[in-house]
Structure 1
Amino acid sequence: MDKSVVRFSHCNKDIFCFFVPEECPECGLSFSGRRLEEAPVSIPDPFCNGHTSPCSFLVAPTDENKLRDFDGGFDLHTGITNTKGVVFNYTKVGVRRDYQGWERCISIPLVQPDMYNLIDQWDQYLEKFSTAQMWDPVWQSFNEETHNCYNYTLMFINCVLATQGKRALSKDEFTKSFVLPRIKRASKYTTLCREISQNHFYIVDSPQKKTSETDADCKT
């Protein structure tokens, strides 16, 4: 989606849309010559073009679900980019090197810009790791539970951590700390865009109103 989402407040509501209208969709009051209760804020798009994100961990819908969004109702696919944005990802036919197809995904950078030594060796590490026998489907078959794209990406990340003398991350650790928060953000953003596309606006009670109502309930 190339439209940006904006949020503004009026009538004790948070209103999400692709543009600020001339009048409030809740009360019909014209905004001409008036100040909004809160200045419009742009909501960051959680998606990016993975091919422009070097040395990163990527999450995207599987090939079978390219037209679907991150709504939690389908399988996801993971990969690792090299320094040129080529996405290395493990599939049933072995490790693929994708030069396109990851234009809309979640990206988690794995290397700081000043880690020059690691960046210099990144492509070599990734190529050597990806040609290991364990990723050859003739030697070991793809398994959706125990030998899949996520095992491939996490194992590579842990191999890189080992070269730096750092401890390995467990699957639960990496998922909870880095992956799940971004997937939840992406899912919410997708739902938001869908609602706005269908109804022009997405309107919810503002946090301030909810807080004041809670305080009032406590006093009664």
Structure 2
Amino acid sequence: MPPDIDPDIICFKHCKSNIFTFTVPNHCPKCNQPLTEAENLCPFALPPIFVNATQTPCAVILRPSTGDFWSDFHNTTNLHIALTDADGSIVEFDQPGLTRTVARRVDRSRWGQCLLILQVPESWQYEWEQQLQHVVEDRGWRHRKYDEDRLNCFS
């Protein structure tokens, strides 16, 4: 599977439990009974839980600071939050300060698997763009102001 495509999460019901897997196994992971003999298994794929940031305009997005959710995430992993504009460009605050990376130059390996926290309704996109531009132009978000613990992407 290509690295920019997330695997589907498959759900099916067996032995009075909802089972979640990436593929339907031959045997139930809970009771170890063969699933070939199961009636009414009816597996289905859940909707994708991650978004590609550059294809999600006017949004607040979240990703692990390093790696991705499927391979590298643990409950102690640092997270990185950013905003997208109407064109899918990324606005983020990190060690280099506040930066805007146009969508066509975004590192897809870093921003291809994000959680969507909030997406602005289309009727508010103009206001979102105006406020985002105002923040980008504000000198208070320069690199020398960045502090990993006190003034970071979550501040």
TM-score, normalised on structure 1?
Answer: 0.56
- Out of 38, 47, 50, the position equivalent to 1:44 is 47
Residues 94, 136 of structure 1: 8 Å contact kept: yes
- Structure 1 unaligned spans of 5+: 152-220
Residue 66, structure 1, aligned to residue 70, structure 2:
no
Q: How far off is 1:148 after superposition?
A: 0.9
Please name the residue that 1:93 is paired with. Answer: 96
Query: Which 4+ stretches in 1 moved above 6 angstroms?
Result: none
Residues of 2 paired with 1:70 and 1:129: CA distance? 30
Residues of 2 paired with 1:128 and 1:47: CA distance? 28
Residues of 1 paired with 2:57 and 2:128: CA distance? 10
Give aligned pairs, total: 140
- Structure 2 unaligned spans of 5+: none
- Out of 27, 51, 54, the position equivalent to 2:33 is 27
Residue 111, structure 1, aligned to residue 120, structure 2:
yes
- Out of 77, 80, 86, the position equivalent to 1:77 is 80
Read off the aligned partner of 2:63 and give its amino acid letter: A
Identity score, percent: 26
Residues of 2 paired with 1:13 and 1:119: CA distance? 43
Instruction: Name the SS of the counterpart of 1:150 in structure 2.
Output: coil
The alignment's C-alpha RMSD in Å is 2.3
- Out of 131, 139, 146, the position equivalent to 2:150 is 146
Q: How far off is 1:29 after superposition?
A: 5.3
Q: Which has the larger radius of gyration?
A: 1
Higher relative helix content: 1
Task: Call closer, same or farther: CA 1:6–1:112 in 2, change over 3 Å.
Answer: same
